[in-house]
Amino acid sequence: MSSEPTILITGATAGFGQSTALRFARAGWRVVATGRRLERLESLKDELGDSCHILELDIRDRDRVMRTLGSLPRPFDCVDVLVNNAGLALGLEPAHDTDLENWEVMVDTNVKGLLYATRAVLPGMVSRNHGHVVNIGSIAATTPYPGGNVYGATKAFVHQFSRNLRADLLGTAVRVTNVEPGLAETEFAIVRFKGDAERAKAFYKGADPLTGDDIAEIVFWVATLPPHVNVNLMEIMPVSQAWGPPAIHRKS
């Protein structure tokens, strides 16, 4: 790793992505930050200066992702760490009542977008025999809940794709980590509830949830371990969260 390593973060305009950009920048890393909200990216660049390269980018746009992430300008072109953070949940309706478009957006973002970014950056890592792919998953990958249907399924994809990447990359020095947060207060709930801030606030009330800074610190830790160490999976919950007993519907 160079004295000024480079991290590329998708979905860097808020939440885990923004916190991760700030955490790595404080440690002297170059940051490539992507997102759809240009004004937020510009604010991030104003804060980080020349060490930050911003890209207004919809991660669902395969051609543009492949073109822009595969041809970054110097000195940002050798990506040491890719953080696949862009993702979202939409709605909590049961499968038989949901809006099909919500399902499609989640698949296009959480699955396809992650695939595009990985495929754009990974060949350079392999050719340099150095790099680290950090995928931001969710406990929803293995812990189902009512209304989690396709969101949980997309994160189950991230879980298994991360493991299969490790299998493909055996014999290289490229690392892969899947970070699976539980309850975390970011803009996640506001997006899920289509901008209903009051409903989002109630979702976290009294829970002392994880924060973006908590996850950023974890990403920084796994990325800066000795290069022979690979953390395959980290599942993180706030102390206030745990698993419940199996749900049983009983006839009245």
Whether residue 75 is preceded by a cis peptide bond, meaning omega within 30 degrees of 0, is yes
Max Cα-Cα span within the chain: 67
Give me the phi and psi of 230, to 5 degrees please.
-120, 120
Look at residues 34, 31, 43 and name the one whose alpha carbon lies nearest to residue 10. 34
Given a contact cutoff of 8 angstroms between Cβ atoms, the answer to whether 117 and 66 are in contact is no
Catalytic residue among 116, 145, 151, 204: 151
Residue type, 187: E
Number of Cβ within a 10 Å radius of residue 196: 13
Nearest CA among 99, 152, 125 for reference residue 6? 125
Task: State the Cα angle at 140 between 10 and 69, rounded to 5°.
Answer: 15
Tokens of 110: 């959480």
Our answer to whether residue 151 is catalytic in this structure is: yes
Residues with a known catalytic role: 151
